[in-house]
Amino acid sequence: MSLAFCSAHVRRKFYKLAENSQVANEVQRRIASLYAIEGKVRGSQAEERRAVRHDRRRIIAANLRQYLEARNRQVGAKSKLGEAIPYALTHRDGLARLLDDGRIDLDTLPSNDQSGPWSSIGKTLSSLGLTKALTTGP
């Protein structure tokens, strides 16, 4: 048995900082692209979800990890960004489990919840012109 982590926890840390941080804003943009892909396969069979994730998400996730590793060396460890980046990096294995297992959800938040933290991803996707990914199936 392997532990999988909820992506919303990582996303939330950067959302809180995105208004005042170009780095956090860029992380939010990249996370939004992962959510857009997930929106297209949500409700699909596990094997289809795994295949799409493998083909389309793996490279985005790898690039995000590299971006976070590079920024981690540039920010102060005691800053809020200096706390968010290591949090994301230390949880990367649990977050990446869904790439190889279509049964795992990206996060534990229901897709129809438009209040609280979930609304932040909707705002991010909307600003990127990606809201259709949340409302349309595969």
pLDDT of residue 7: 74
The mean of the pLDDT values for the chain is 76
* DSSP SS3 for 74: coil
* DSSP SS3 for 27: helix
Q: Where are the beta strands (DSSP E) in the chain?
A: none
User: Is pLDDT above 70 for 115?
Assistant: no
**Would you list the domain boundaries of the chain?**
7-128
Sign of CA dihedral 69, 74, 78, 82: negative
pLDDT of residue 6: 67
* 8 A C-beta contact, residue 11 and residue 28: yes
Tens digit of pLDDT for each residue in 28-43? 999 888 888 888 888 8
pLDDT of residue 91: 74
Neighbours of 83 (CB within 10 A): 14
